[in-house]
Each structure stands twice: as structure tokens, then as C-alpha cells.
Structure 1
Amino acid sequence: MRFGKILFLAVIFALFSAQAVLAGPTYDQVMKDKVIRAGLMTDSIPGAFYNKDNEWVGFDVDIAKEIAKRLDCELKRVPVTNKTRIAFVQQGRIDMSVANMTHKRERDKSIDFSITYFFDGQKLLVKKGSFANWDEIVGQKIATMQGTTSEVNLKNKLEELGDTNADDNVISFQKESECFQALEMGRVAGWSTDSTILLGYAAKRPGEYELIGDFISDEPYGIGLPEDDSKWRDTINFTIQDMWLDGTYMDIYNKWYGPDTPYSFPMTEQIEVWP
């Protein structure tokens, strides 16, 4: 009996020790391994997607690469979705989620965030000439992504406009590509999410789609980070600010959202910089 008790305590101690190692500060682990595991989308054009040459590219990809470069680390890219990006941070499977994620107070209960590194807002994409504004599309089926702030914002907007069947008229999908496919096939009359994502997909069919209506929300993107790890959070914040101050941020921004790109989206705010 005594031996069994000792063995049981030894197992518990071993498990606790293993968990303690896994739960160590992210900064220390990253600096030790010289590897940053970044959660990135795979079909969020032009944030993070596979191009025609099957290369994983995009604005978020370049931001993650630059952060890793400045910290003298290798970047390990980990595919995430709208449903997995927070869970992967919580589980320690990634060190940061650079995945067009709006910083919301509700999300901040689960993970921490960097300062805002991108500014967007939610709009509506339709086939060109089909609708002129939000009022005209009330009562129609509209696509959005499941489990996102876009889904909540869209339902609220439709209810505000008097749609008594808003819950049924909001059709939620797992991926951006599925939303666009539904719009192409006529299964929905519109697709609502962050405007830069809509611009990215509209660029695949030049002249066939258009964004209509006013912004219905502000969408400040933050990099998702492990909870209560201030040293790692400060490191990411300082790196973003340094990228802004030396012009690298705007070089990356203009590469993907500049006036000569298919995804032209003028910069609306400045990155927060601490003195």
C-alpha cells in the first residue's frame, strides 16, 4: 500500500513537472529555441493565403516573418481557422496568432493581444449592380463566417434595419472561401465581413463584384498572445512599433494594400507608438 502511494505521488509529481515546463514563459522558450510558431490563415486574401504557385503569402505572413527576423528566430507557420486560432494560443500550440483577429473585450478574457497592427471595418460584398445599399438587401440571405465578430455585427445590423428573420437570413460558413463560393453560386445575395477580405476575393473576379454600404463596425486587429505573459507581449509590441518607426510596416502595407494593388485600401490610422 505504501509503495503504491509513493508511486502515485511520483506520477503526480512527474505530470506536474511536465506541465510546468510546458507552461513556462513564452519569451524564454522562444529565445531558447529560436523558433516562433505563428498561427496564420490559409484562405484569407490578402492577409494569408496560397497563391497560384501554391506559396503561402499575404500581409499577415509578411508581418509574422518580419517579427521573427527581428527577433533572430525561425518562423514556423501553423494553419489556423476562425475557430482554432484562440484555442491554439490557449493550448500553447502557437506563440502568436497573426490571423486578422479583431481585439474584443470578450476575447481578451481568454488570451492577451498586442497593440492594434491593422485597422479595418465590416462591409458588404454583392454581385455588381444587384443592390445599392444595406436597406435593399434586408430579407435576403447573407453569408458570413461562423464564430466571428462579423456574424454578430451582421445580425445586429439586419435587426436594426427591421429584418424579423435575421437569425435565419445570416448563413454562417467555416471559411472565407466557402462564403465567396456561396455568393458565386447564388446561394446568398451578399457576403459581409472585414472589407479587406472582401476586396481580396472580389479581386479574383475583376468587375463582377462590388462593396456597398457604409462600414457597420470598426475592426482593430491585434496579434493574439498567451495570457499573462507580459515579457512576450512587450516584445511583440515593441517590435511592431519599431517596424512602424523605420518604415518597414508601411512597406509591407503598401505591398498588399497600396494604390497599385488589386486590394487597394488606404491606411486609416497610425500604429500606436510609446515614447
Structure 2
Amino acid sequence: MRVLKITAMAALLVLAASVAFAGPTYDRVMSTKVVKAGLSNQGIPFGFINDKNEWVGFDVDMAAEIAKRLGCKLEKVVVNNNTRISFVQTNPPKVDMVLSNMTHKRVRDEKIDFSITYFFDGQKFLARKGTVKDVADLANMKIGSMQGTTSIVNAKAYLQELGNPNPQVTGYDGEVAMFEALNSGRVQAISTDSTLLLGYAAKVPGKYELVGDFISDEPYGIGLPQDDSAWRDAINFTLQDIWKDGTYKKIYDKWFGPDSDYPFPLTSKIEMWP
């Protein structure tokens, strides 16, 4: 009798462990063979609509590669800076993963989970060529950034460090509105992740330039539903496989290589597990 009880208890523990490991997102995606990815359609060159009306970008290609390796169909869902977290938080989530140039911050990790870092960037300022002779000039300029991002917080803090206790920083609803504010002269410079600035500057070659050094590190993670370790592991393992076999480098060079429209040297490598 005692042996039977121990055997039954062991079986229940194994069953409980397997259920806990599975997780709702992982189970659903593996069952439906469809993975919903939250992607920007304004974040050049990560996710945007090109001249052929195609939804393209680095994040779009990465999402497609992840879905393919999981044996799933990719369903693209538009997210922006105000929805990219909330779309992962709903029950059930509106998206299974978010690739939207999103910096992995501790405050964000309190709301959703993240993958390992899959892209490395930093924040800078973009201004019309020749208007900023020294970075100190930025302190008293009208600056634009984006609502719902850490960029606007970083920009204000940096301008305060330059000596302006009350800097003029306006938050805009997305990259297009922010760049339009610069292009129309409503602000004299804009600040966000440097690759996004490069993307929009490339639309009008020779008119704008990046100013100063990086004012922050911006490690991008894939946003994931909270507390689903099996789904998080699946994404992390897939990212590492994409890196290991050279596919990551091909996708990176397509968008950021020396011969691309947005050259940006690869500065780090992703975390690899033995």
C-alpha cells in the first residue's frame, strides 16, 4: 500500500511539472500552428511599409524566421509604442510575441516577459546638418521624442545634465509624427534609438545628421506573455539557433550591413547557452 501511494504521488508530481512547463501560449501556438507577432509599421527599418506597399523590415524578417522554425504560419499585427505591451498582457494575449524595437527595461519586465537581447542599439539625437555645433547646443533647443517610450525620459534627463533644468521635449505619437515635427521645423532635433533615426534620415539623404555620442544603451528584447517559461524557452532557443547557423547575420546585413540603406555596425553578440 505504501509503495502504491509513493508511486501515485510521484506520477502526480511528474504530471504537475509537465503541465507547469507547458504554458498556455506555448500549447496554443503549437496546437494552432499560428504565431501572432506584434510589429511596427512605422519603425524604419525594423517594421514599415515600403514604396511597394509591402510590410518589411528587420523585425518582420526575424519574426518570419522564428515562425518558420517553429513550424508555424506568421500572423502580423500592428502595434505602436502605446499598445506593444498591452497587446501581450490581455488574456488571451492579442499577440504571442512583440518585435518592435523595444528596449528590455526592468520596469517593463514587471508587466511582461522578454527574450534574450536580439538587437543592440543606443539613443542619439538627429538634427538638420550644421545646426548643432556642439552637443551643449541641444540644451536650449526644442526637442521631439515619442510618447510611451524610454527615449523621452532619457532625452529630458540628458538635457538637464547639459544645464537646462526645464528642457522643452515634446512627445509625439509614433515615428512618423516625430520626424514630421523635425522636417517642418516645429522642433530643432529629435531623439530616439539611433537606427530609427538613421531610417528616417535616409528618406531625405544629406539633410540630417546624428549628433553626439550615445546617451543610453538600448538592448532590444522580444516581448512575451508573462510566466510562460516553455514559450520563452522556445523563442530563446530559436533565436540562438538563428544566430548559430549564420541566418541572423544575413538578416542583419540585409538591413544594416555596409551596403544597405541603413549601415550600422553590429556591436555585440547575443547570449548563447551551451
Q: What is the distance in 2 between the residues matched to 1:172 and 1:206? A: 25
Aligned-partner residue type, residue 263 of structure 1: Y
Partner of 1:266: 265
Partner of 2:239: 240
Q: What is the distance in 2 between the residues matched to 1:115 and 1:262? A: 27
Q: What is the distance in 1 between the residues matched to 2:52 and 2:115? A: 32
- Residue 106 of structure 1 aligns to a residue whose secondary structure is helix
Q: What is the distance in 1 between the residues matched to 2:217 and 2:165? A: 25
Contact 1:132 1:213 in 2 (8 A): no
Match status 1:27 vs 2:37: no
Partner of 2:101: 100
Unaligned 5+ segments in structure 1 are 1-23
Q: What is the distance in 1 between the residues matched to 2:99 and 2:207? A: 30
Deviation at 1:110, TM superposition (A): 0.2
Aligned-partner residue type, residue 138 of structure 2: I
Aligned-partner residue type, residue 28 of structure 1: D
TM-score (norm 1): 0.90
Q: What is the distance in 2 between the residues matched to 1:114 and 1:147? A: 21
Partner of 1:220: 219
Identity %: 62
Deviation digits for residues 37-95 of structure 1, max 9, x if unmatched? 00000100000000001100000000000000001100000000000000000010000
Aligned-partner residue type, residue 87 of structure 1: S
Partner of 2:145: 144
Q: What is the distance in 2 between the residues matched to 1:115 and 1:134? A: 33
- Residue 217 of structure 1 aligns to a residue whose secondary structure is strand
Question: Counterparts in 2 of 1:164-243, with a 5 A limit?
Answer: 164-166=165-167, 169-243=168-242
Aligned-partner residue type, residue 181 of structure 2: A
Partner of 1:159: 160
- Residue 126 of structure 1 aligns to a residue whose secondary structure is strand
Contact 1:202 1:209 in 2 (8 A): yes
Deviation at 1:133, TM superposition (A): 3.4
Deviation digits for residues 161-192 of structure 1, max 9, x if unmatched? 111222xx001001101111000000000000
- Residue 152 of structure 1 aligns to a residue whose secondary structure is helix
Aligned-partner residue type, residue 37 of structure 1: K
Runs of 4+ in 1 over 6 A off after TM superposition: none
Partner of 1:127: 128
Aligned-partner residue type, residue 31 of structure 1: M
Q: What is the distance in 1 between the residues matched to 2:235 and 2:68? A: 12
Partner of 1:46: 45
TM-score (norm 2): 0.90
- Residue 214 of structure 2 aligns to a residue whose secondary structure is coil
Contact 1:139 1:165 in 2 (8 A): no
Deviation at 1:262, TM superposition (A): 1.5
Q: What is the distance in 1 between the residues matched to 2:191 and 2:133? A: 14
Q: What is the distance in 1 between the residues matched to 2:181 and 2:153? A: 19
Q: How many positions carry a matched residue from both structures? A: 250
Q: What is the distance in 2 between the residues matched to 1:199 and 1:165? A: 28
